[in-house]
Amino acid sequence: MTEGKLEFHDFLAVDNIVCHPAVNDGGMLLNLLLELLHRHFPEFDRDTAAREVMAREEIFPTVIAPGLAVPHARLTGLEQPLVALGCVPEGVAFGSGGDQVKIMILLLTPQEDPNSHMQLLAALAEDFSKPDAIDTVAALATPAEVFAYFSGNSVVIPSYLKAADLMRPPVAILRESDTLQHAFEVFATSRAEELAVLDRENELRGVVSLGDVLKFSLPEHLLWMEDLSPIYQFQPFVDTLKDAGDTRVADLLRDEFLTADREVPAIQLAKLFLVHGARQILITAGEGHLAGVVELRDFCGKLFWE
């Protein structure tokens, strides 16, 4: 263990790793990993763990990268996180989508400790972000080699989560010079409610939301009309659509939006969500560069139920 730090291999043991098992699908591999853990940690209920893992899998598929699945569950009564790992270099189908999985990492964490759950996932995501990491680990021949890989790779468990650990890439972005017609298309295909707007140098200039589009289309004085019969045919929106090809996103740009640096503690995001009543926070790296986004629903999901 690195002094003062936990690393991923501190939760892993050679006896809980299996390489090249004779399994035909991901379900068999998952059952094998559950059996390994239960053999060495009989204090948890294996059947309950299996049900929890599969129920979570049906709602939140855990194939987090091509070839890598991290099925997991939060169990009442666990004293510490439990980890098992299986390597199948030829791949096995797993999940409702039939994704081919070469590495499966089973995580069982204490129900009452969401921090350890998110910390382990964050550390794994960082390590397996390397282009060849999945194939490299999957091809290792023995559990000892797999353990040595993680021991030598120093997959450090962060002492606390940062905004970067919880963010995801933006679903889509807009440019200041984009037309409103293009914005309609991006909103429709991305299903986003709010989009970041960048300038030519890729710096963050503002945001445009669906609410901003409605406000642009419906002048404020119309909101005070008691009788809306003059616009029953949505005339203001007809005008917006007619001019959408010539209207620029810059005309709707809202330069008041919520940001947090990628290095701030993740708990700071909870405070920002509550104080500002926000639905999303844009995560930046340095001055004005968009790194990702954290949405309120995703934040709560990682904290409470995923």
Sign of CA dihedral 286, 289, 290, 296: positive
> Which is nearest to 15 in space by CA: 45, 43, 36, 42?
36
The pair of structure tokens assigned to 15 is 């006896």
Res 97: pLDDT: 75
| pLDDT-based confidence at residue 190 (cuts at 50, 70, 90) | very high
Per-residue pLDDT at 233: 60
List beta partners, residue 63: 69
**Exposed, middle or buried: residue 167 (CB in 10 Å: 0-12, 13-18, 19+)?**
buried
Domains of the chain (ranges; CATH) run 6-159 (3.40.930.10), 173-305 (3.10.580.10)
Q: Residue 46 and residue 34: Cα distance in Å, rounded? A: 7
Q: Structure tokens of 24?
A: 């035909």
CB neighbours of residue 188 within 10 Å: 9
Residue-wise pLDDT tens digits, 265-283: 999 999 999 999 989 999 9
Q: Tell me the per-residue pLDDT of 223-271, one tens digit each, with 9 for 90 and over.
A: 666 766 666 566 778 888 999 999 999 999 998 899 999 999 999 999 9
Stated pTM of the model: 0.71
